[in-house]
Amino acid sequence: MPRETSAFQQAIETVEALPLEDQAVLVDIIQQRLKQQQREELLQRVAEAERDYAAGNVKRGSVADLMAELDG
């Protein structure tokens, strides 16, 4: 019985069938898109942190303050 190839494996095989120059271009495109997605996620986390800070949901203090709160 033939085994089904996963979508991931199919993608790898498709990329490997491309000429080396096209593979390099594809890698560059994927890296740029990953960087953009990481930037967007970071911006979302920063916006969330700013909302939390504005709502008063953020505490400030030293490491000792944190440890005391965790112990208490």
pLDDT of residue 60: 82
Structure tokens at 2: 């033939």
SS3 state at 61: coil
Tens of pLDDT, residues 3-26: 678 999 999 999 999 999 999 999
Tens of pLDDT, residues 31-72: 999 999 999 999 999 999 999 989 988 878 899 988 888 887
Residue with tokens 């199919």: 10
Exposed, middle or buried by CB within 10 Å (0-12, 13-18, 19+), for 19?
exposed
SS3 state at 14: helix
User: Residue 41 in contact with residue 33, Cβ under 8 Å?
Assistant: no
Q: In the chain, what are the domain boundaries? A: 19-71
